[in-house]
Homo-oligomer: A and B are copies of this chain.
Amino acid sequence: MVSRKEVADMAGVSVATVSYVLNDKPGVSDAVRERVRYAIEQLGYKPSYAARALKMKKTNCLSVFVNYLGDPFEAGLLNTLEHITRKLGYFIYFHTYQQDQEEDFRRYFAGRIDGLLLMGQSLREETLQAIKAEDIPVVSIMEPVRAQGIAAYIDVDWEAGMAKLIAHLKHQGHRKIGFMANGDKEHPHERRKLAFAAAMKREGLAVDESSFLYGCGRLEESQAQMAKYLARGTAGYHTAFLAASDLMATGMLAACREARIPVPEQFGIAGCENILMTLQTTPTLTVLHYPRPEIAALAVERMIDLLNGEPAASSKLETKLLVRDSS
């Protein structure tokens, strides 16, 4: 590990001068600048991140809590997050988040990251306190289910979106519409479930507990649950199903195929994210389009604002209804 002192010695200057060159400060003669640059190059010197972070009280690192690293919907958000923040000079870390691991994370906040990005998770009160104590700004993509103290989130207007989907299905003649929910009430999918229920009521359609299946956010589980539902013989009770995620909608599609129930003729299905896969299913999936790049970009923008001491603000973007072959 070569430190600044060695560079200074080799260039025959003081450590301060090396700093000036490194940070492009004015007031260093070209000759000295060149000598320092040469020494840095020769020695392969890299500034120590830890020392700089200690001195500056700034890490240039951001952290993202991800619900599940294999999720294609989240991946679309993460890619944009990573690109934009890297261009801004930040390093961004991804971790999977689970409620029961929050405690492990609490000691994580002191002097490691400048900001925290959430993917709609609701944090425990103590964790929030720890974050606040360290003065770490939090921005959530997707509105947390429990509002909490998180003042900055970026999301779509789920109720308006679900209303569009429901109106479309209603127009197709559907009256009994079900919903494949996540099941975990702390999961960001929960907000989509609530929005579905609210929109159904506003459309004058019935919702009760029998309207819901629970697919845990996973294709496989959703497929299994749907298969069980269809096998119960009460098939036909609902004529259409929405899902809290495209992955779960795809699972339902697979279950219908297995059960030889024609979609959309006998059963309508729709998702609410527009992940790439929904264009490749048979039939292609009717979805709400969730503008992931825009949302991620806005989230970063908000984060930078907060890091600059500007006040928190939230935004809700619009979804777009894409009618395809599954409805």
Chain B binder among A13-21, A24-32, A94-102, A154-162? A94-102
Q: A1-B134, A281-B254 are in contact. Are A94 and B91 (CB under 8 A)?
A: no
- Which of A69, A71, A108, A219 has the most C-beta atoms of chain B within 10 angstroms of its own C-beta? A69
Contact B54 A48 (CB under 8 A): yes
27 contacts between A and B (CB under 8 A): A1-B57, A1-B110, A44-B133, A46-B107, A46-B110, A46-B130, A48-B111, A49-B112, A51-B54, A53-B53, A68-B75, A69-B79, A69-B94, A70-B71, A70-B74, A70-B76, A79-B96, A82-B95, A82-B96, A86-B101, A91-B95, A93-B95, A219-B277, A220-B277, A220-B280, A254-B280, A257-B282
Q: Which residues of B contact A135 (CB under 8 A)?
A: 1
Q: Mark A113-134, 1 if CB is under 8 A from B, else 0.
A: 0000000000000000110011
In order of increasing CB-CB distance, the 3 nearest A-B pairs are A70-B75, A46-B110, A50-B53
- Count, chain A residues at interface, CB 8 A: 60
Residues of A within 8 A of B (CB): 1-2, 44, 46-51, 53-54, 57, 59, 66, 68-72, 74-76, 78-79, 82, 86, 91-96, 101, 104, 106-112, 129-130, 133-135, 219-220, 223-224, 251, 254, 257-258, 276-277, 279-282
